[in-house]
Amino acid sequence: MSNLTTIIYNEDNIKSLEWQEHMRLRPGMYIGKLGDGSAQDDGIYVLLKEVIDNSIDEYVMGHGKSIDVTIDQGRVVIRDYGRGIPLGKVVDCVSKINTGGKYDSRAFKKSVGLNGVGTKAVNALSIYFKVESFREGQVKTAEFSQGKITHDHKLAKTTEPNGTRIEFVADNSIFKNYKFRSEYVENQLWNYAYLNAGLKLNFNGKTLVSKDGLKDLLERKTDSENLLYPIIHLKGEDIEIALSHSTQYGEEYYSFVNGQHTTQGGTHLAAFREAIVKTIRDFYKKDFDSRDVQTSIAGAISIKVEEPVFESQTKTKLGSLNMAPDGMTIRSFVVDFLKTNLDNFLHKNKEIADAMLRKIQQSERERKEIADIKKIANQRAKKANIHNKKLRDCRAHLTDGKKTDDETRLLTTIFITEGDSASGSITKARDVQTQAVFSLRGKPLNCFGMTKKVVYQNEELNLLQHALDIEDGIENLRYNRVVISTDADVDGMHIRLLLLTFFLQFFPDLVKYGHLYILETPLFRVRDKQQTFYCYTEEEKQEAIKKLRGKAEITRFKGLGEISPSEFEDFIGEGIHLEPVILGEKTKIEDLLAYYMGKNTPERQEFIIDNLKVELDQVSGEEKEVMDFEPETVVEVE
């Protein structure tokens, strides 16, 4: 007889959760991945978006001309000047699931938030949440914690103008060690500004406003000096597009639906890319290869759809096929618009048409020039993938040739390491389900100023691009996070710069779309017999010494290979420290690379000397003592 205990299954096993309990138990169902704010699609930015979307809908409906956003040490305040939530429904709108004004399509025909979930999720996932609605001289206020009401204030008189004010503090037990990055917030708000010309967004003392919509977007997102002709800007009913060609490699697209930034594209972006190729082929009466047309394109598209269907609650990919209510397909709508309007524009602007043609022909020549080299390089890469261990892939991709779905890909990370010892430690400590490791051999080539031909000729760079599957752009990028993992010494920093140069030179959109990160590992381990602290800065080290109140054993880490796999589990797991590589809105990649990777200049020499003096002045006597020892040397401090 089996010794298995009989499991009783009855009514007691069936449980019903309150709405806020379910959201807190399964937050990913409502806001996607959680994160700590180091990635622009982390959950705290989704919370911000869910509240602002409601304010934007009020503006689109013709109510209010500005929105105020303030973020101070994790506390977010958003104030709009729309109509305000009807006073009798304030509590229900932020705490009763499937309650909202957007189910009535007469009031919100082309709204972003259609399912009545957004602000409820913010409420449930906040340790503090406050809503105030101002209407006709009265204010209704309610306060919550983790979705449960704590203060239901009575109606009161007010002199405030109409509108809604929402304040929240995300729950640190869910969003562990989170921090809002102003660069990401500003980027998010600028997108709202571009899509709502004339709207003023006031963020922490700055005013963001756009006059020319998507044309302004492309001007800010791209280096205007690299554009080969003036931006083509076309607008119609429910559609707006902007496009140009640049000198950079790869394609760069920004797509929106009803004001929502669809970072993963969808049916509208696929139609846009197809429509550009089709229209250009017809205009020039030449059957160009689509790759030659699309290479180096910078484009943006915004459409409005009634009751859009997205592939997830976070609305990052459009799944709709039709333009409700007439049933016209999105593909036909976009293709027809470009076929008419882009064709007319090119006929009327011969100089721009000629510049576009020259770029396409240049791309065609370059593609044919490296065709043989590329073929040999691809064969070599395929053979290398079979016979060497440069790439230790994650199980999420080992699917017998089946393409990884978008939801799974969002969880994946690849660490680019130097040397066998570092890659060995990370490989042993990683989560084999979602984390991969690519091992470099020596220092990669400094490819500043070179053409993409060099990528195929250089085995190391060619294998890297194949591992990431970015040869034809980042649309098929296999990993959501690409993490440069080098030692915290001079050689490690040099390799980091060389890899940054490679990505910025040939795959700048990998950086612009927020996929590139730097792994931060601790510089010190401070411990006694009871406790161990891993410290990332001198300040953290001094604080750890104080906490131990006695003799402390200090280890200075200089290389990743010196950190044991058991320790690495802490550094690349839940407590991972990642520093995103962020390009400023007006950063010129060519100038940036020339400064750091070009020939020595007086400016760079002066920068190095000045910063070296500052660093040495900041180093304490005790720190200098530690730096004189070999790695893993122990220093005791009273």
Q: What pLDDT, in 10s, does the model give residues 301-354? A: 999 887 777 665 556 677 667 665 566 888 899 999 999 999 999 999 999 999
CATH topology for 19-208?
Heat Shock Protein 90 (3.30.565)
Higher-confidence residue: 339 or 582?
339
Within 10 A of 141 (CB to CB), how many other CB atoms are there?
A: 19
pLDDT at 31: 76
CATH no. for 371-521+562-598? 3.40.50.670
Q: Which residue has the tokens 């004001």?
A: 259
Question: 28 pLDDT exceeds 50?
Answer: yes
Rounded to 10°, the helix 490-506/459-468 angle is 70
Question: Taking the domain 214-359, which CATH number applies?
Answer: 3.30.230.10
Q: What are the residue boundaries of the structural domains of the chain, listed by start?
A: 19-208, 214-359, 371-521+562-598
> In the 3-class helix/strand/coil scheme, how is 71-98 assigned residue by residue?
EECCEEEEEECCCCCCHHHHHHHHHCCC
CA distance 119 to 100: 10
| pLDDT, greater one: 578 or 564 | 578
Which residue is listed with tokens 């990913």?
28
Q: What is the pLDDT of residue 403?
A: 58
CA dist., res. 516 & res. 509, Å (int): 10
Which is it for the CA torsion 452, 455, 456, 462, positive or negative? negative
pTM of structure: 0.75
Q: Annotate 495-536 with DSSP letters as a single string.
A: HHHHHHHHHHHH-HHHHHTT-EEEEE--SEEEE-SS-EEEES
Query: What is the tens place of the pLDDT at every residue in 363-388?
Result: 999 888 888 888 887 777 777 665 56
Q: Which of the four pLDDT bands, split at 50, 70 and 90, describes residue 105? A: very low
Q: Flag whether pLDDT at 489 surpasses 60.
A: yes
Judged against a pLDDT cut of 80, whether residue 596 lies above it is answered with no
Question: Above 50 in pLDDT, residue 35?
Answer: yes
pLDDT value at residue 135: 93
Contact criterion met (CB below 8 Å) for 434 and 418? no
* H/E segment holding residue 254: strand 252-257
Task: Pick 467 or 586 by higher pLDDT.
Answer: 467
Running DSSP on this structure, what letter comes out for residue 310?
B
pLDDT at 201: 96
pLDDT of residue 618: 47
Q: How confident is the model at residue 127 (pLDDT cuts 50, 70, 90)?
A: very high
Q: Helix or strand or coil: residue 617?
A: helix
Read off the pLDDT of each residue in 200-209 and give the average, rounded to a whole number.
94
Give the mean pLDDT of 569-583. Answer: 81
Q: What is the pLDDT of residues 436-449, one digit of tens each?
A: 999 988 888 888 88
Highest-pLDDT range among 37-41, 424-428, 465-469, 569-573: 465-469
Q: Which two tokens stand for residue 369?
A: 């020039």
Please write the tens of the pLDDT for every residue from 525-546: 898 888 888 888 888 899 999 8
Residue reference for tokens 């003592």: 625
